[in-house]
């Protein structure tokens, strides 16, 4: 019998399996798709440039991911933050350029600073690993970020700025975001927290060799221990072992299971042998939905326009940023996703190019290559990043990421707000919890 069966070959499953293997455990990774990587995926243009179609950016708070990148012999480089030029603002049917946002008045900017100060003070009282322990956790969770902003008297322009920031991350709207979840995410920065969203802490770097290369390197180390095209349909946790059933009817037994399947596809997997509380928590977590658009051009033509390729928009894509030379990344916001998905591929492409052309001129409508990846419709992802609406954290409770018997979970969906950091952190934590036994 195997020591551990790991379900899902995303960053979480691979990092768990890698640590278990290197400690001598007999491990098998079962992956539904015919490729490894899950929500990290890259492709190569005919001129050799790598293009990331999934997870891409990391920051200083992403310590587990950074450590893994070092162990794998990979390197980090500056992300879009190194791009010269100014940011584009596509709001209210008009496009403006400038840093800071030119549509904010001096009064708006000082009110923004005031509100951020209040937010930071509140966030400093939250333990990101256990937000439920805060004495006002239930009330903070029941409050939407929007209602909190209004309760502290934030000006309309300031509320709009926060809404743009959420859209830029392809997160759900302020009204559909739990204040406690938002504070918890910010609290990850610890004593260094000074701003609502600090690019250094979240997005300042990317892996020079391509972010999907992190998964590929781990898979190379695990050669012979990963089985592709194995769709898990059932997990039975027994007192002395675990049985995992595949869609083919095959049953694989192991002493322990690390379940690194994202929360939405996991709802289709029958699970027995866990407490009702544990199962409810697993089923209750949700993702926000998004699609990624990547346009590759011969040159970084936006530089000639004095623009840096970064934008915030109330349109189809909430933000754009430079992925590398001549390559722009963008995310379709959850609010726009239904419209995006309702069109056929030609409509999706046309709408995405129109959005880019509004911000960067007619040249943006003629990329060398255009990719749209509808992650929320992919059956083995069905989402983008963990999202907590008001009341969600209270309903899910603290048990959701803890081991129960021989059942261990890993995955970015179990760490504050997702991210590749969450996948690696929880994957390695699951491995060390098993090894500690």
Select the span of 2-10, 20-28, 69-77, 118-126 touching ligand FAD (CB under 6 A): 2-10
- Is 140 or 293 the residue whose CB approaches ligand FAD more closely? 293
Taking the complex as a whole, the smallest distance from the CB of residue 185 to ligand FAD amounts, in Å, to 12
Q: What share of the chain is helix, strand, coil (3-state, %, to 5)?
A: 40, 25, 35
Name residues contacting ligand FAD, limited to 239-278 (CB under 6 A): 260-262, 265, 269
Interacting residue with ligand FAD among 2, 4, 5, 7 (CB under 6 A): 7
Beta strands in 54-141 (DSSP E): 76-78, 86-91, 94-97
C-alpha span between 241 and 362 (Å, rounded): 61
Binding segment (CB under 6 A) for ligand FAD, from list 30-38, 134-142, 152-160, 250-258: 30-38
Residue with Cβ nearer ligand FAD (13 or 390): 13
**273 conformational bin, left if phi > 0, alpha if psi -120 to 50, beta if neither:** left
DSSP designation for 301: G
Whether the CB-CB separation of 321 and 85 falls below 8 Å is answered with: no
- 38 near ligand FAD, judged by CB under 6 A: yes
Phi, psi of 236 (to 5 degrees): -115, 115
CA distances to 81, 119, 198, 292, 296 from 323, in Å: 10, 30, 18, 12, 9
Q: State how far the Cα of 263 lies from the Cα of 12, in Å rounded to an integer.
A: 13
Q: Smallest gap, in angstroms, from Cβ of residue 379 to ligand FAD?
A: 8
Which of residues 302 and 419 has its CB atom nearest to ligand FAD in the complex? 419
**CA angle (107 as vertex; 102, 108 as ends), nearest 5:** 55
How far is Cα of residue 424 from the mean position of the Cα atoms in its chain? 12
Q: How far apart are CA 386 and CA 148, in angstroms?
A: 21
**Residue number, 271 or 359, with CB nearest to ligand FAD:** 271
Q: Which of residues 282-341 bind ligand FAD (CB under 6 A)?
A: 290, 292
Q: Is 12 in the site for ligand FAD (CB under 6 A)?
A: yes
Q: How far is CA 181 from the centre of its chain?
A: 14
Which CB, 142 or 165, lies closer to ligand FAD? 165
Q: Which of 16, 28, 31, 137 binds ligand FAD (CB under 6 A)?
A: 31
Q: Give the nearer residue to ligand FAD in terms of CB position, either 131 or 422.
A: 422
- How far from 7 is each of 117, 212, 385, 415, CA to CA, in Å? 42, 19, 19, 18
The least distance separating ligand FAD from the CB of residue 228, rounded to whole angstroms, comes to: 9
The residue within the footprint of ligand FAD, chosen from 89, 302, 321, 375 (CB under 6 A), is 375
Residue 335 and residue 163 in contact, taking contact as beta carbons nearer than 8 Å = no
The one among 4, 140, 235, 420 contacting ligand FAD by CB under 6 A: 420
Q: Which stretch binds ligand FAD (CB under 6 A): 36-44, 103-111, 122-130, 342-350?
A: 36-44
Nearer CB in complex with ligand FAD: 149/315: 315
Q: Which is nearer to ligand FAD, 33 or 217 (CB)?
A: 33
Q: Between residues 260 and 416, which has the closer beta carbon with respect to ligand FAD?
A: 260
212 binds ligand FAD, rule: CB under 6 A: no
For 291, the enclosing helix (H) or strand (E) is strand 291-296
Which residue matches tokens 């090894």? 435
The token pair at 40 is 């990290």
Total binding residues for ligand FAD by CB under 6 A?
Answer: 40
- Is 39 within 8 Å of 55 (Cβ atoms)? yes
Judge contact between 210 and 375, C-beta under 8 A.
no
Stretch of 28-36, 85-93, 100-108, 148-156 contacting ligand FAD, by CB under 6 A: 28-36
Cβ-based nearer residue to ligand FAD, 143 or 372 = 372
Residue 418 touches ligand FAD, criterion: CB under 6 A:
yes
CA distance 232 to 245: 6
The reply on whether position 51 binds ligand FAD by CB under 6 A is no
CA distance readout (Å), 220 to 76, 226, 318: 20, 10, 36
Which one of residues 54, 128, 309, 334 is an interface residue with ligand FAD (CB under 6 A)?
54
Contact residues toward ligand FAD (CB under 6 A) are 7-13, 30-33, 38-40, 54-58, 231-232, 260-262, 265, 269, 290, 292, 375, 380-381, 384-385, 411-412, 418-421, 423
């Amino acid at each position: 019998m195997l020591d551990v069966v790991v379900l899902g070959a995303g960053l979480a499953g691979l990092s768990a399996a890698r640590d278990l293997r290197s400690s001598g455990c007999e491990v098998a990774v079962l992956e539904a798709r015919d490729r490894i990587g899950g929500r990290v995926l890259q492709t190569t243009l005919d001129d050799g440039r790598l293009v990331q179609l999934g997870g891409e950016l990391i920051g200083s708070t992403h310590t587990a991911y950074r450590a893994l990148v070092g162990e794998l012999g990979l390197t980090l480089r500056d992300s879009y933050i190194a791009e010269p030029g100014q940011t584009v603002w596509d709001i209210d049917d008009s496009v403006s350029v400038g840093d800071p946002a030119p549509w904010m008045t001096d009064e708006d900017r000082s009110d923004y600073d005031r509100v951020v100060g209040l937010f930071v003070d509140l966030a400093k009282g939250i333990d990101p690993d256990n937000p439920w322990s805060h004495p006002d956790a239930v009330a903070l969770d029941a409050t939407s970020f929007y209602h909190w902003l209004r309760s502290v008297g934030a000006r309309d322009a300031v509320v709009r700025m926060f809404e743009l920031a959420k859209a830029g991350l392809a997160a759900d709207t302020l009204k559909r975001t739990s204040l406690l979840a938002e504070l918890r995410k910010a609290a990850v920065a610890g004593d260094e927290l000074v701003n609502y969203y600090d690019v250094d802490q979240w997005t300042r770097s990317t892996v020079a060799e391509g972010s999907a290369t992190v998964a590929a390197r781990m898979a190379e180390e695990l050669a012979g221990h990963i089985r592709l095209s194995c769709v898990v349909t059932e997990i039975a946790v027994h007192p002395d072992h675990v049985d995992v059933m595949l869609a083919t009817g095959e049953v694989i037994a192991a002493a322990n299971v690390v379940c690194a399947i994202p929360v939405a596809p996991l709802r289709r997997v029958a699970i027995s042998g866990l407490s009702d509380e544990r199962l409810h928590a697993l089923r209750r977590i949700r993702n926000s939905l998004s699609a990624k658009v990547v346009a590759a051009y011969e040159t970084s033509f936006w530089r000639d326009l004095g623009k840096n390729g970064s934008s915030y928009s109330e349109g189809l894509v909430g933000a754009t940023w430079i992925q590398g030379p001549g390559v722009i990344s963008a995310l379709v916001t959850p609010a726009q996703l239904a419209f995006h998905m309702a069109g056929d591929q030609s409509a999706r492409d046309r709408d995405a190019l129109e959005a880019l052309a509004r911000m960067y001129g007619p040249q943006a409508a003629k990329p060398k290559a255009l990719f749209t990846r509808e992650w929320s419709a992919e059956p083995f992802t069905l989402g983008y990043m963990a999202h907590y609406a008001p009341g969600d954290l209270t309903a899910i409770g603290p048990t959701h990421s803890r081991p129960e018997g021989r059942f261990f979970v890993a995955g970015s969906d179990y760490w504050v707000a997702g991210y590749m950091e969450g996948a690696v952190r929880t994957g390695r934590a699951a491995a060390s919890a098993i090894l500690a036994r």
